[in-house]
Structure 1
Amino acid sequence: MNGRTFSVVICVYTEDRWTDILAAVESVRRQSLPALETLVVVDHNPRLLERLTEEFTAGPEAAGPGGEVRVLANAGPRGLSAGRNTGISVARGEFVAFLDDDAVAEQDWLRHFAEGYDDPRVTAVGGRTLPVWASGRRPAWFPEEFDWVVGCTYRGLAPGRVPVRNVLGGNASFRRTAFDAVGGFATGIGRDGDKRPLGCEETELCIRLGRALPDAVLLMDDRAVIHHKVPAVRERFRYFRTRTYAEGLSKALVSHSVGSGKGLETERRYTTRVLPAGVVRGLRDALLGRPGGARRAGAIVVGVAAAAAGYAVARARARSGVAFSHGPITTYAPRPEAGTP
């Protein structure tokens, strides 16, 4: 583990998260395994770019511990994928880690990532993301099986350090060389400022990575923990329904890109084993008089139906030649010579 260097990429887009962004950067600076650099990539927001540049190039913040903080403008089209690709293209570390702009990493986050790379076959290591609810506690109706709706680790993932098909993008790391093999995150799949909360760009990347490097191992290590804020609007059932529908759209895009075999491999187990068990658990809780049991069971059913509807709509539009993404799916990343600023 000694001598391993990490570039940490944090993609940002709105001044509304100013305090969260500073907290995310500070959590990287406090790592027990110091990062080589933190790359803050601003998504087409000149005012935020100017403000962050001022924050991290002058005054005491510029001289803080934990590696250099570099503020960059997204060099590609609007969106999370292009922002991540911008960070990848200039990263100088042997490994590239990604942290959400409204999350903070625990002190040993990078150290646990680094331990995973003791095995030279390991190409990516992801971690566990815990929700920090705006209301102070989980809504009684919100099933843990759907914590992915709010960008967090969900019930059904195996504990410990285990091989997975894909890591979760807001809490993940990759060997820098992985991107030489696959070219970066696909644009046209994930979020790009559109009102629809699309996702799955990390799933598509990991599937391509597995195809390009058949011996590659992707790990999930639940000791690499971050705490992710869940704003009040995302605690509401309306957002839950919208996000699960958008997930169906996103899965259709992934399947279109990499095929339904790998594109839905993990989802089949999730929908046939994890979710039915969640419904049974919710109904049992209702019979025992525990708060929210019936509502959790109902939310699971609604979530499955909404995702299935989104998937069906997207596939039907694709067959009819109607665009159902917010742009062409491309896997190009703006990549000057590795390690150049």
Structure 2
Amino acid sequence: MTHATRSAAPGIWCGEFDLFNNDGLRGPRHAGAGHHRTRVLVRAHGRPLGYLHFDAAPDAVSSREIRVRSVDSFGDSVNADAPEPIADAPFVSVIVCTRDHTELLTSCLDRIQALDYPDFEVLVVDNAPSTEETRELLAAICALDSRFRYLRQERAGLSAARNAGIAAARGEILAYTDDDVLVDRNWLTEIARTFRDEPAIGCVTGLVATAAIETNAEGYFDARSPSWSGRMTSERYDLSGRNDGSPLYPYSAGIFGTGANLALAREAVDRVGEFDEALGAGAKTKGGEDLDMFVRVLRAGFAIAYEPAALVWHQHRADDDALRGQLYGYGTGLTAFLTKYLANPATSLDIVSRLFAGVKRLASIRTATEGRMLDHVEAPAGAWQEEVRGYLAGPVLYARARLASRTRQAGLRRS
């Protein structure tokens, strides 16, 4: 199905302003002539407080105006104390899985190189590439920076790439991000700090802020994903009483975070195992591997921490067709993930008991998303319909993916 791409553009520049440093207003993308409005993520000593919106271009927004409005909007939280430095920072393996996105990857790796963290390595997993561009890029980077390593994974699929990273990583923490993500310089510091806060934590996620709302597609996706792009409060989740109060818990899609900003303790990975290769981008199901990992971490007795200070910026799909494809994959991934737990005798009753609440939740997504959209953003034609089409296809696609996985494993045993 094809749709005409809308010509109207919201023109919203997204940036950040920390009340306690002299960096001024800055953002993941340069401001241009097409930016007529501004959204500012306000921070205090790096801690995100919330967003402010200005009906003006970024160069017309003053530091004084941001500070005054921050006091009015965020109250006493603007006076937050600076966090203590981390002693004995653990060694972290940053894992970036990519496929044929060299331009995006270059920007991603530039930000990773600039991380303010003393002890980490970077594994770039090139997943079933169709060109040699990523290998050539990494050859140049690795020649100058020994922290970087290049891995090639010929079996297509994000889960296969994530698992290749697990096998090669040397860190006690495995921090995943995507090639369309720009990490904050304190990203690893806040991840490590959160793991140190509580030994039971097996997984840390963080705020995934929108890098730009220049198109309706970006604006729609920004409104579609508030659970990990808009929450400014630290949260802890487990199966011993700390939850979101939802009848869907712990199968609540998105409540824990997203795979674009996901860190796992090596101890947790050793206990729960690798990512499910029947799920995830590049597999028939197109998603759901992160949702599955969250549930498995909880069921293994670990806690999940959502820490907004572990911040990254995500560059959303900018055109309507790409957005519709992504939303279709979100739909298939979600119901494929749920089908996995419905098919498991140990969890099938959990899923059945939540079916009514789940259907009710899905039915509310369209209205909720459109209600959260910023002024001047219009919903791209067919976006919701593609997501629904994905919901309907997910169970069948999961069955096909599982069958393909079993066939491949049987072939490996015979060889």
TM-score category, normalised to shorter length: 0.7 to 0.9
Deviation at 1:242, TM superposition (A): 2.7
Partner of residue 328, structure 1:
405
- Superposed, 1:88-107 pairs within 5 Å as 88-107=166-185
Cα gap change, 1:268/1:137 in structure 2, threshold over 3 Å: closer, same or farther? farther
For 2:366 and 2:337, how far apart are their aligned partners in 1? 22
Cα gap change, 1:185/1:268 in structure 2, threshold over 3 Å: closer, same or farther? farther
RCO higher in structure (CA 8 A, sep ≥6): 1
- Superposed, 1:14-25 pairs within 5 Å as 14=100, 17-25=101-109
The answer as to whether partners of 1:167 and 1:219 remain within 8 angstroms in 2 is no
Partner of residue 128, structure 1:
207
State the Cα deviation string for residues 186-223 of structure 1 (Å, max 9, x = none): 1121122x6x6711112212222222x32x11111122
Deviation at 1:306, TM superposition (A): 2.8
Deviation at 1:181, TM superposition (A): 0.7
Residue of structure 2 aligned with 1:40, choices 121, 124, 140: 124
Q: Between Structure 1 and Structure 2, whose CA radius of gyration is higher?
A: 2
State the Cα deviation string for residues 287-339 of structure 1 (Å, max 9, x = none): xxx6567x589955x36633442246558xx5xxxx25583279x9xxxxxxx
Residue of structure 1 aligned with 2:304, choices 190, 193, 218: 218
State the Cα deviation string for residues 144-178 of structure 1 (Å, max 9, x = none): 45238xxx9356xx541112454421211111111
Say whether 1:71 aligns with 2:115: no
The answer as to whether partners of 2:97 and 2:125 remain within 8 angstroms in 1 is yes
Partner of residue 56, structure 1:
141
The answer as to whether partners of 1:198 and 1:246 remain within 8 angstroms in 2 is yes
Cα gap change, 1:176/1:110 in structure 2, threshold over 3 Å: closer, same or farther? same
Residue of structure 2 aligned with 1:112, choices 182, 190, 194: 190
Residue of structure 2 aligned with 1:200, choices 281, 285, 288: 288
The answer as to whether partners of 2:207 and 2:229 remain within 8 angstroms in 1 is no
Segments of structure 1 that go 5 or more residues without pairing to the other structure are 333-341
Cα gap change, 1:312/1:80 in structure 2, threshold over 3 Å: closer, same or farther? closer
SS in structure 1 of the partner of residue 314 of structure 2: strand
Cα gap change, 1:52/1:292 in structure 2, threshold over 3 Å: closer, same or farther? closer
Partner of residue 112, structure 2:
28
The answer as to whether partners of 1:103 and 1:227 remain within 8 angstroms in 2 is yes
Query: What is the percentage of aligned positions where both structures have the same residue?
Result: 20
Partner of residue 87, structure 1:
165
Equivalent residue pairs, number: 301
Deviation at 1:52, TM superposition (A): 3.4
- Superposed, 1:162-201 pairs within 5 Å as 162-164=235-237, 165=250, 166-192=256-282, 198-201=286-289
- CA RMSD of the aligned region, Å? 3.9
- Superposed, 1:189-338 pairs within 5 Å as 189-192=279-282, 198-211=286-299, 213-214=300-301, 216-233=302-319, 238-239=324-325, 242-256=328-342, 259-260=347-348, 272=360, 276=364, 279=367, 282=370, 291=376, 295=379, 302=385, 305-311=388-394, 313-314=396-397, 318=399, 323=400, 327-328=404-405
For 1:266 and 1:27, how far apart are their aligned partners in 2? 41
Cα gap change, 1:304/1:68 in structure 2, threshold over 3 Å: closer, same or farther? closer
Partner of residue 161, structure 1:
234
For 2:353 and 2:185, how far apart are their aligned partners in 1? 34
SS in structure 1 of the partner of residue 185 of structure 2: coil
Cα gap change, 1:129/1:269 in structure 2, threshold over 3 Å: closer, same or farther? farther
For 1:53 and 1:291, how far apart are their aligned partners in 2? 40
For 1:29 and 1:283, how far apart are their aligned partners in 2? 38
Segments of structure 2 that go 5 or more residues without pairing to the other structure are 1-85, 238-249, 251-255, 410-415
TM-score (normalizing by structure 2)? 0.61
Supply the AA of the counterpart residue of 2:273. Answer: G
The answer as to whether partners of 2:125 and 2:152 remain within 8 angstroms in 1 is yes
TM-score (normalizing by structure 1)? 0.72
